[in-house]
Chains A and B, each alone.
Chain A
């Protein structure tokens, strides 16, 4: 249990760090920049003005510490204030885009985890085979491709070039969202290219990490013992090799979620896919700080939850974390 306590401690500290960064960053702005942003606002209602001021900390008569705790209070109660652009509560605004991004990132993560693990395990298991000698160099090259360029390439080839998939957005404009097969088909066809981009960008490093772990595990004595015991090859691969290769790195995989989210922002921007990733970029252009802050917390929280899940799995599956 001590292992879990330690990891939960990390969860809290990281959350607090994210909150604090969010609080400090706007205050770091050089004085004039804050004014210039405010000056740039069109038809700013007094309430919005004060919200922005509080956000940017320009009403200095209020002590920083007080506004810090006020800010923390707001975050806990999910009250992130109003979006500058749309004058609606930030939480409400986020909810619109969130499901789309969750679907996209969720699917991409699951696929790349499964594909990455499978390819890594098989490549390492058939050491010296075609797959193992051809895979690593190709995969490594893949990591050299920036995500947004992968997106552009796929868009260019399959969208503009072959017209297999629509070019932008999450479903055809004007189609009424319903559970009909047609609508779902439409949504899926819109999601294929963005999801593929994410999978390609993530699977690359995952397969490489997995293969390296497997290669190290294969050299262990207990794998040689497993062969000596006459166990079936696939049982050795799964029960002895994969289990020892995957488990210690679950936390490492969870941290990769951070990269997936980063990727999602770039992909949604390129495909103008209306998820929170796209919102993130548009909020940046519009200096919509409350939305930016909330989304940043959301992303950090997402990764934190994944890391916690990974820790839970490790605590359950890996006996070494249990007290001897």
Chain B
């Protein structure tokens, strides 16, 4: 087993406000192999974006890392000072944000924003910078003539691609993407996903891809992490989660909430209720109030992450020392 590129141990993030300290991310453990595509899925407020920004050391007050370590290239990033971090940033790991419209500086042209990045980490001449910028734009399918245009002059899809091009300036080992496709229509989304997968395989960088829409990463990611209320609910190979029903009731509910575009039509139930208030997390399993397969002990005992085959799941049904009431999975039965 090659040593992991990124090791996250017990990472927790607090939002400090006058009224309460909200633990948005609760002791997450994660290993990422070089060149691996990890999808992180979860609904609004589950802490997925906070986790990624915590890994990238990009948290702004009132968010602060409360505990845990993020070991990347052998160094614990949480301990590094801003100056030390500055050398690693973008050269070894880069970030692509959700809405490229306000992630690009409206006052500077695309070329200028590439230039200051390259100059911050290398001593390339003007010509080399121009050439490298044109090259990464071509890689993502944008005509280098757009180098001199400004963000507001590009279409949504092109801005998103320019962001990805910027992330690849130094072909880093790790790219963190926070919902880069949510602002795009389905056709543009698919073409961007194809391109991201192609680039990842060609350039070999590891990728953490955050999205609220499970179907987006279902065909692209190697492994999938489902997050709920600040905790990892399930983590495992993507195909495992789709070919047979997922282990965690929440992942199952999430998957079943998708209306299918092909094949037989099935009634959707969705997941009633709302996620818990993270300022006062419930004692037992955080999904218990909304869980169709909840058992009495779920309300008192907080489940840990149990290993089931290649996956891990935070649910007492798989705790081994608990005999789950044999209930047929209602949807599996009538699969024609």
Chain A: residues with CB nearer than 8 A to chain B?
127-128, 218-222, 224-233, 235, 239-240, 243-244, 247, 317-320, 322, 324
Chain B, residues 53-97, CB within 8 Å of chain A (1/0): the string is 100101011000000000000000000001001111111001101
Residues of A contacting B53 with CB < 8 Å? 224
CB of A224, distance to nearest CB on chain B (Å): 6
Given A231-B117, A239-B108: A221 in contact with B95 (beta carbons within 8 A) = no
- Cβ proximity bits B98-127 to A, threshold 8 Å, 1 near / 0 not: 010011111111000000110011000000
Whether A243 contacts B56 in the complex (CB less than 8 A), given A232-B120, A233-B82, A324-B152, comes out as no
Tell whether A244 pairs with B152 under 8 Å between CB atoms, given A229-B89, A229-B90: no
Q: Is the CB of A235 within 8 A of B116?
A: yes
Indicate whether B153 reaches chain A with its CB closer than 8 angstroms: yes
- B246 CB to nearest chain A CB (Å): 32
Interface size on B, residues (CB 8 A): 33
Flag whether B150 is at the interface (Cβ < 8 A).
yes
Which 6 residue pairs spanning A and B have beta carbons closest together?
A230-B89, A319-B150, A324-B153, A221-B103, A228-B95, A222-B105
Which one, A220, A227, A230, contacts B102 given CB within 8 A?
A: A220
**Additional pairs, 20, CB under 8 Å, beyond known A228-B94, A230-B87, A230-B117:** A220-B102, A221-B97, A221-B99, A222-B102, A222-B104, A224-B53, A227-B58, A228-B58, A229-B117, A229-B120, A230-B85, A230-B120, A231-B86, A233-B82, A235-B120, A240-B105, A318-B107, A319-B106, A322-B150, A324-B150
Q: Smallest CB–CB gap between B9 and chain A, Å? A: 23
A36 vs chain B, min Cβ distance (A): 59
Alpha-carbon distance A226/B120, docked complex (angstroms) = 11
CB<8 Å pairs between A and B, sample of 29: A218-B60, A219-B60, A221-B97, A224-B97, A225-B103, A226-B105, A228-B58, A228-B94, A228-B95, A229-B89, A229-B90, A230-B85, A230-B86, A230-B90, A230-B91, A230-B121, A231-B120, A232-B120, A239-B108, A240-B105, A244-B105, A319-B106, A319-B107, A319-B150, A320-B106, A322-B150, A324-B150, A324-B152, A324-B153
Task: Provide the residues of chain B in CB contact with A218, threshold 8 Å.
Answer: 60
Cα(A177)–Cα(B134), bound, Å:
63
Give the distance to chain B from A184, nearest Cβ to Cβ, in Å. Answer: 41
A244 touches B58 (CB 8 A): no
Q: List residues of chain B with CB within 8 A of the CB of A221.
A: 97, 99, 102-103
In the complex, chain B residues whose CB is within 8 Å of the CB of A227: 58, 89
What is the distance, in angstroms, from B133's C-beta to the closest C-beta of chain A? 14
Q: Find out whether the CB atom of A319 lies under 8 angstroms from the CB atom of B116.
A: no
CA A233 – CA B86 in complex, angstroms? 9
B56, B86, B99, B121, most chain A CB atoms within 10 A: B86
Complex contact A244–B107 (CB within 8 A): yes
Query: Quick one: closest B residue to A241, CB to CB?
Result: B105
B253-282 with Cβ < 8 A to chain A? none
Instruction: Name the residue in A233, A247, A319 with the highest tally of chain B Cβ atoms < 10 Å from its Cβ.
Output: A319
Which residues of chain B are within 8 angstroms of A226 by Cβ–Cβ distance? 105
Chain B residues whose C-beta falls within 8 Å of the C-beta of A220 in the assembled complex: 102
Q: Write the nearest CB–CB distance from A83 to chain B, whole angstroms.
A: 49
Most buried by B among A218, A221, A233, A235: A221
Q: With A and B bound together, what is the CA distance between A66 and B77 in angstroms?
A: 79
Give chain A residues whose Cβ lies under 8 Å from the Cβ of B56.
228
Expressed in whole angstroms, the Cα–Cα distance for A243 and B56 within the complex equals 25
Contacts of A240 in B (CB 8 A): 105
Q: Please report the C-alpha to C-alpha distance between residue A225 and residue B163 in the assembled complex, in whole angstroms.
A: 10
Task: Give bound CA distance, A98 to B216, whole Å.
Answer: 69
Q: Whole-angstrom distance from the CB of B12 to the nearest CB of chain A?
A: 21
Q: How far is the CB of B156 from chain A (nearest CB, A)?
A: 13
Complex Cα distance A244/B150, Å?
Answer: 14
Chain A residues with CB under 8 A of B117: 229-231
* Shortest beta-carbon distance from B46 to chain A in Å: 20
Q: Whole-angstrom distance from the CB of A313 to the nearest CB of chain B? A: 13
Q: Which B residues are in CB contact (< 8 Å) with A232?
A: 86, 120
Contacts of B60 in A (CB 8 A): 218-219, 224
Instruction: Determine the residue in chain B with the shortest Cβ distance to A317.
Output: B107
Given A128-B61, A320-B152: A225 and B108 interface contact (C-beta under 8 Å): no
Q: Contacts A229-B117, A230-B121, A231-B117 known; A244 to B106 CB distance under 8 Å? A: yes
Residues of B within 8 A of A225 (CB): 95, 97, 103-105
User: A240 vs B116: C-alpha distance in the bound complex, in angstroms?
Assistant: 11
Contacts of A128 in B (CB 8 A): 61
Kindly state the separation between the CA atoms of A324 and B60 in the bound complex, as whole angstroms.
33
A228 B106 Cβ-Cβ under 8 A: no
* Most chain B CB atoms below 10 A, which of A219, A231, A317: A231
A229→B106 contact, CB < 8 A? no
- Most chain-B Cβ atoms within 10 A of its Cβ — which of A218, A226, A228, A319? A228
- Assembled-state Cα–Cα distance A322/B149 (Å): 11
Q: Which of A222, A227, A229, A318 has the most CB of B within 10 A?
A: A229
B89 lies within 8 A of A222 (CB): no
A222 close to B106 (CB less than 8 A): yes
**Minimum C-beta distance from A218 to chain B (A):** 8
Contacts of B102 in A (CB 8 A): 220-222
How far, in whole Å, are A231 and B82 apart by their CA atoms in the complex? 11
Chain A: CB-nearest residue to B105: A222
- B209: min CB distance to chain A, Å: 16
In the bound assembly, the distance between CA atoms of A221 and B120 in angstroms comes to 19
